[in-house]
Chain A
Amino acid sequence: MALLRGWQVRALLAIGSTLIVGVIFLASIAEELRRQETERLDHEASLLALQWSSLWRDVAGNAQFLADTPPAQGTARAARNDGIDPVDGSTAELWRDRLESIFVALMGSRPNYQQVRLIGLENGGHEIVRVERTADGRVRRVPEGELQSKGSEPYHAEAREAASRGETEAFVTRVTLNREGGEIERPLNPVSRAVALVHDTEGVAYAFIIINLSLSPIFEAQTSELTPGHHLIITNGAGQPLYDSDIGLRFEFDLEGDPDWPAVGSSTLVGILPEIPNRVSQDPVDGRRALAAASLVEAAGISSEADMAVLMSAQGVGIVDLASDVLWARLPLLLAVLLATAAIGAYMSQRATRPFAELANSITRAGWGVGGMGGVPIPDNPEAAMIARAFNVAHDELALSLEELRQRNRELEQFTATASHDLQEPARTVRSFAALLDERYGDRLDDDGKAMLEFLSDSATRMQERIRAVLTHSRIGRSSEWGSVDCGELVSTIISDLGAAIDESGAEIEVAALPTIDGCQPELRLLFENLLSNAIKFRKEGETPTIRISGQRGDPHRFVVADDGIGIPIDQREKVFDFFRRGHSRDSAFEGSGIGLAHCRKIVEQHGGRIWVGDTTEGTEVHFTLSSKKRSLRD
């Protein structure tokens, strides 16, 4: 989790889990709403189907009632008998008048009845009585002179057929557009007709009552009462669309070939009818994803021609729409839940990790003393306590080893100091006696003797130097002078101290702005002194050396001491920092103890840094880093 901080991870986890819960919650709500919506559609469809059913029953019942009334039979009888009823001698006029009065009364209470008529089966199907509703809604008795012959109408043929079948029940004919004089009436007027046969005493049908029912007002009423968002389609029993709540009247099957009728599409819904009353997943009209329900209109006992189907669908109730509707409606609540969950999650995870963060802090602060001085307190949290105990065990072992190591270091330093101190005394003795011998007996010695004496003296001197170097080396890191050191000032002091050597070589020394750092002043002084004198010492013969010193503050601080001298062969560049390693032969111009760079390495390491020879082909570049953190295996 290098990219995210702990609290971000916790917040993401909390929000993620809340989102998952939220989506599941929404999905289940959407499923429930779907179920409810489907139920509502079903309910509405069956209710509308019931309306149609009862309408059919009512109109068929009324037709039958009229057919069974004495005036209907009397009027029909009189019409067949030259105007005189053969049963009671009443005139046709009288019967007509009575029947008309009954028709008028019925139509008064049934605003959707357009015409109520009595029509003879024979004699070309002439109308005997006709009461109609005019365009302005008035009920009008049509005078005898205006009556027409309807023998060629399809419903007349149906009535004749029913009579020959011996039909006794009223029936409803299939729904069609009304025609006047063979032409489709404008505006379009969808009608259905209830037909009831009128029988004589021998049971022979000789006329029929027909009621024209205007359907437009019913379609419109059903549409206006539709649940918003619901889509209603009514088809006839053959699945041919009659009405669509979005489009209006359809009747393509009836209008086919009519030049005035705009092409709305002639689809029939026959294909879906077998599925009724099963759900369909597509809106029958526009094919969008929707819920649907359907219900057949029961026209039982009347005529299969009058069958109808009510198809209902609801658009825009897909799961996504539902989910987003619900989401918007409950957004504040959801946001509150989300925030609360995130907060609780973050709090809980913080609570869970806090003991470990605290433990990490105590471990960072833990000292390295033995027995009580180090280790960490055992926290209450059991898991953290386990880690703390394990840490304390490891800590105690390490603290013991560290203490042992410090002890060894102290002993070693003590030994080095004592040994080198004790060695100095005999070295000094050899050297002084060699000098004494030369002084007293020098003139009595031959060349070999003199050479031997010189070797003796040189060796003793070198021994002293080396012992001193070992002493110096062993003291590096023991100084307690740790503080702020201005490297610029330090280097200028060294330059003035090295005055003689610099003058002799004619060296030019360029010092860039050097930082002030934390460190041990005497050691840093030794470091710069060694590097500077090396740079002067290892110059090219006969050339004046140029030496550049630069430094950069940072963590760690970086320094470079570069010269244009003889350089160090590539295979020697690591070895030069070894103890008593000389890069050059003894009798050359570059006499040295071979320990200066070893000092430098020890000093740099004491300052938590690193020293190396840079990758150059001309001269030498010594790079080193210094950290302000003291690192020591001492006390």
Chain B
Amino acid sequence: MADFHILVIDDSPADVFLHRLVFSQLDLGEAVIDAEHGAAALELLRAAGPDGLPRIILVDLNMPVMDGWEFLEQYEKEFGHRRDWVVVAVVSTSNNPRDVQRSERHALVRRYLEKPLSVDAARQLIEDYLPDIQLVPVG
């Protein structure tokens, strides 16, 4: 599983902590890497290169420096061709229906997840889009 990474883009250390906790329940805690905003995330991705991209990107919307939408726009330009390999999901506290709608219509965004992220939602996401990943059974 050395190549399996989950990129969490969130400026809140508490949320990053929570996400890592959630994926630890699925025995994927080690795979979580984080970036505090869009610009930092893009730097990480560019460093990894198209073949080293994470399988899952969870992006927050409201961040300083570069917010979620700005990140998605730039990401699509640079890494849009890897759409099938990378599962992108928005994770936000924003209960603004416009953001929800925009996420659903976005070509790259597979799912809009509400904070706090639950273990079930994370499991569902992986089962739906990454069937090749073996998850630990419930319980």
Contacts and interface: CB of A to CB of B under 8 A. Distances in A.
- Counting chain A CB atoms within 10 Å of each CB, which of B12, B36, B64, B65 scores highest? B64
B37 A455 contact: no
Contacts of B17: 451-452, 455
Contacts of B12: 586
Contacts of B36: 585-587
B80 interface: no
Interface string B52-65: 00000000000111
A614 interface: no
Interface residues on B, range: 10 to 19
A515 interface: no
Interface in A573-599: 582-587
Contact of B14 (A459, A583, A585): A459
Nearest to B18: A455
Interface string B3-32: 000000001111001000100000000000
Contacts of A448: 21
B57 to A, nearest CB: 19
Interface string A446-458: 0010011001001
B45 to A, nearest CB: 18
B64 A585 contact: yes
A585 B13 contact: no
B14 A584 contact: no
Interface in B32-51: 36-37
Q: Contact residue range for chain A? A: 10 to 19
A426 to B, nearest CB: 18
Contacts of B63: 585
B37 A585 contact: yes
A585 B65 contact: yes
Name the residue in A451, A583, A586, A587 with the highest tally of chain B Cβ atoms < 10 Å from its Cβ. A586
B13 A582 contact: no
A458 B17 CA distance: 14
A583 B64 contact: yes
Contacts of A452: 17
Given A448-B21, A587-B36, A582 B14 contact: no
A553 to B, nearest CB: 38
Nearest to B21: A448
A446 to B, nearest CB: 12
Given A585-B37, A587-B36, A455 B13 contact: yes
B11 A586 contact: yes
Given A451-B17, A585-B37, 12 more contacts: A452-B17, A455-B14, A458-B14, A459-B14, A582-B64, A584-B64, A585-B65, A586-B11, A586-B12, A586-B13, A586-B64, A587-B13
23 contacts: A448-B21, A451-B17, A452-B17, A455-B13, A455-B17, A458-B14, A459-B14, A582-B64, A583-B64, A584-B65, A585-B11, A585-B36, A585-B37, A585-B63, A585-B64, A585-B65, A586-B11, A586-B12, A586-B13, A586-B36, A586-B64, A587-B13, A587-B36
